[in-house]
A and B are shown apart, each in its own frame.
Chain A
Amino acid sequence: MARPSSDRLGYLLVAPTVLILLSITAFPLAYNLWNSLRHVVLTDPSSAGFAGLENYRALLGDPQFAQVLARTSLFTVVSVSVQMAVGLMVALVLHRRFRGRGLVRAAVLIPWAVPTVVAAISWKTMLDPQSGVLSFLFGVDTAWLAGEWTAWIAIAVADGWKTVPFVAIILLAGLQVIPGDIYEAARVDGSGAWHAFWKLTLPLLKPALMVALIFRTLSALLIFDVIFILTGGGPGDTTETLSYVTWREFLVESDFGGGGAVSVLMLVLSLVIAGAYTRLFRLDRREG
């Protein structure tokens, strides 16, 4: 239907978007690859030169980096699982009709819209051992950010507060497109609510669940702002994640070779995960 003359126009219209995105994503990727094979330390210009795989060797041979990878992955798995569960619960609640539902929906959306930095600062204030809400209400003066596990809990709470609404909104939309008569049929069969939830709701919700899961996994894997504000990687280096290490290499150590190597690994990891999810999703669709 489109005329031949439309073709060139089409490319022309797409070009700015594609070029801009290429120059801020693909180009940095390639530049990172190049830098990762070289010594590029800005504060020490004399050391510049080709380094081969030395940056990667240093990184992969560093037991601390293995820990960074492990704790980033653990955080991703645990926090995303909890966020999905809580998000589903919130979505189920919001799906029901009750007075003031519109207001509650707006309230839930607010944390999502608040800048991450603000979320982190708010939670830092909330968890302050002297002036925080727990100390105020219960006299609990735990320094949450001083312990390894408690610091991670604080990070997960602040991150979850900001991201659960997103999960809930996506899942709520998924719930809303499930036709009601399916449940009528189930009721005729005499199956219970719990049964209906497992056998009908969850499978039908799968597309929405997958979308939320992909988004959440990739952003949890790359968590940065919350950690920067809440712990600065501490106590010790126990809350340093992939993104935090990258930032430190680039902007504290001015080491663009080492930072490049971490970046490349980080990108490969995200692509593999994105690819795996998409694959799973598609296989699933074909079978279902």
Chain B
Amino acid sequence: MSENEAVDSEDQVEDTQKGKFLTFCLGNEFYGIEIKYVTEIIGLQPITEIPEMPEYIKGIINLRGKIIPLMDVRLRFRKPFREYNDRTCIVVIDIREIPIGLIVDSVSEVISISDEEIVSPPSLNKEGNKYIRGIGKVGNDVKLLLDSGKLLTDLEIENLENI
């Protein structure tokens, strides 16, 4: 019984979150990430660096007793590093039980983008936009919708190649 209810409420949560994206900006571009992955947004915190990590993994933070790794999305997308300022935010996301913090230039808003407004990214050659799942049209703006799963998994593949 209670199980059914739980499933129901989970469905509801899914429903209300469907089509909603948290948008943030990196340089001039706006990116969107599905809201269901987002746990919270926090300001910048003192970061403990971990040696021997790829450049885009900035280190770990202590989030109320939980140790969470941080990824600088700018560096992940091979954009130039920008000094962190008071608008810099950490978006904590939870992908398949793995929590990770994304460092972004700034967070803007939560918007709804219906499926009709999402087009698949132009298929450029190579892996040019492997992290983009689609492009959402909002008014005159375009938001690049991130495939959050790939942010993590691609990395492992890269690693294997390195070895």
A and B together in one complex: no
